C-alpha cells in the first residue's frame, strides 16, 4: 500500500528476514528508533510492526519514539502490533515469577529470540538470572542463599530439557 515498513526486531532473525523479503527495498529492521531516517526525507507513509517475540513494553517505547520523531513529517504512520499473544502472556508470567523468587533460570537455546527475550526481561528485574541450555550448565553455587528458584523456558524448548533441569535442581537441593 505504499508504506515504508519498519520492523522492530533483529534484522538477522529468520522471521524478520522473511518480512523484509516481502516488503522489499522499502523496509528495514531495527530496535533503535533514533537510527531511523537520520537524514531526510522521511517516507510519507510509514508502517511499523514488531517481530513476534519482542516484548510489548519495548515495542511500545519504540513506537512512541518513532511517532514523536516522524509524525510531523510523515503523512501517515500506521502501527500494527504483531507481537504473538502467547509470547506476551509468557513474558508477563515470567516477569511475575521473577518478582517472587531469589533466582531465575531461563531454559532454552541461546539462538532462540524468544528465550533470549525471556532472559533479558528476567535480568531486568534485578533477580539473578541464568540462561542455560542443559542441566549440565546448572552451577550449584547459584543456589547459595536461594530459598525459591523460578524456572521458565522458551517456546521451542523441549519438555525433556526442562524436566532434566528440574530434576538436576531437585538433586542439588536434596544434597544441601
Active site residues: 15
| Phi–psi pair at 114, nearest 5 degrees | -60, -45
User: Which letter does DSSP use for residue 11 in this model?
Assistant: T
Tell me which DSSP letter residue 140 carries. Answer: G
65/35 Cα distance (integer angstroms): 11
Who contacts 31 (Cβ-Cβ below 8 Å, separation ≥6)? 8, 9, 10, 54, 58, 62
Amino acid at each position: 500500500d505504499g508504506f515504508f515498513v519498519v520492523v522492530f526486531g533483529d534484522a538477522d532473525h529468520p522471521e524478520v528476514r522473511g518480512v523484509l523479503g516481502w516488503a522489499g527495498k522499502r523496509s528495514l529492521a531495527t530496535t533503535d528508533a533514533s537510527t531511523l531516517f537520520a537524514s531526510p526525507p522521511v517516507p510519507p507513509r510509514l508502517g511499523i510492526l514488531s517481530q513476534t517475540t519482542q516484548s510489548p513494553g519495548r515495542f511500545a517505547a519504540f513506537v512512541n519514539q518513532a511517532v514523536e520523531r516522524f509524525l510531523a513529517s510523515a503523512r501517515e504512520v500506521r502501527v500494527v502490533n504483531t507481537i504473538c499473544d502467547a509470547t506476551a502472556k509468557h513474558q508477563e508470567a515470567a516477569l511475575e515469577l521473577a518478582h517472587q523468587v531469589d533466582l531465575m533460570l531461563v531454559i532454552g537455546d541461546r539462538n532462540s529470540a524468544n528465550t533470549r527475550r525471556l532472559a533479558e526481561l528476567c535480568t531486568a528485574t534485578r533477580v539473578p538470572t541464568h540462561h542455560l541450555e542443559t542441566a549440565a550448565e546448572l552451577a550449584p553455587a547459584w543456589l547459595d542463599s536461594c530459598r525459591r528458584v523460578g524456572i521458565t523456558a522458551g517456546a521451542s524448548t523441549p519438555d525433556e530439557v526442562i524436566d532434566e533441569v528440574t530434576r538436576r535442581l531437585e538433586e542439588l537441593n536434596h544434597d544441601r
